[in-house]
Amino acid sequence: MGRGCHALTTFVQPTGQKLDHAEPLVSRHGLLLVRLPSHGSRVVHLAVCNLLVGECHVLPPLKCGKVDPLHLDWSGYAILSGVDSCSYNQQPPPSNDASSFKVVIIDLDYNLYTFASDKGSWSTASRCFGDEATSNYTAVYHGPAVVCRGTAHWLFYEGMMPGLCIVGMEAKTGHITLTRIPFEMDDMRYRPCLTLSTDGTLSLIYIEREDARVLIWEILDETTNCLCTRSIELQEPGKKLTQSISSLHMLGEKYGTMIAQGSSLCVYVVDLETETVEELLDWPNRHANRVDVVPLQMSWLTFFLSRLGSR
């Protein structure tokens, strides 16, 4: 398995369900959530792929409120493994164990649905904002959740304050919280998204296109303030700033690695720790968006040991 593009079926052998045209949504701990083709805008078909052991679990169809059939990133989604539901004094399950997971979906009406593998069914809908007027809230790239200390987080823009708010759901209990962050932006085109800093602190990250900089703001106490802790200038090694670099838009970020695309359709990998930029030469020459790209990090040692153990 060398560099280049590999089909999903390289890792997973589906049983009874083809993965043709499946759209990747989010990954965590070797589990990949994909959306399967469907013919109804209010019915979502999903599957969970365990890339470590090569299994595919097709979930029951979900009938929900508004979900854009072409831009599911306007909804929120998450996949949580058994590790996320463990307390600090509990022994986590093996990393290749896919028997325990949760899938969370937020539709365009801000209803939240949870599928638990141990129950085998979807929960009834819960309102993300309670009885508050949902017209006050707008999605800010709130598709894939950021999981921090056992809680999944999604980011919204609140027009009344103005500011940002974070919807959180505890993996173990399913309890939903709403946290307001007084973070104002002059231009919402920057589209901040949530991330984790190197020490695991929940943070905001976005690209300032005019200056080709990545700005990272740590959320200090999740209630009162944000602090800009890093400003990273994007520049290709050994090259001057190009027009492609200066007009980057972020496709995804995970574990300190960002994927971004420029105006010339070139795709770049940005290492936020070393502040280096590398062009991804094997990327198809076409426009990409956040629906197309899911950063995936997997323990290759666990992957190979799992595959060897299954033989």
* % pLDDT > 70, the chain: 64
- If we measure between CA atoms, which residue out of 307, 309, 308 comes closest to residue 55? 307
Quote the mean pLDDT of the chain: 75
Q: Report which of residues 42 and 142 the model is more confident about.
A: 42
Q: Which residues contact 145 (CB under 8 A, 6 or more apart)?
A: 26, 76, 77, 78, 104, 152, 153, 154, 169
Q: What are phi and psi of 229, to 5 degrees?
A: -100, -20
pLDDT digits (tens, 9 = 90+) for 182-214: 776 655 566 778 888 877 888 888 888 667 788
Please state which of the ranges 88-92, 241-245, 266-270 shows the lowest mean pLDDT.
88-92
- What type of residue sits at position 59? L
* 3-class secondary structure, 240: coil
What would the mean pLDDT of 122-130 be, rounded to a whole number? 85
Provide the residue ranges of all domains of the chain, joining segments of one domain with +.
197-280
- Rg, C-alpha atoms of the chain: 19
Q: What is the distance between the alpha carbons of residues 25 and 45, in angstroms, rounded to a whole number?
A: 12
For the cut 90, the answer to whether the pLDDT of residue 302 exceeds it is no
pTM summary value: 0.78
Give the pLDDT of residue 26: 86
Beta-strand pair 31-36/23-28:
antiparallel
pLDDT digits (tens, 9 = 90+) for 83-102: 786 654 454 455 545 568 99
Give the pLDDT of residue 246: 59
pLDDT bucket at 281, cuts 50 / 70 / 90: confident
CB-neighbour burial class of residue 197 (10 A; exposed 0-12, middle 13-18, buried 19+): middle
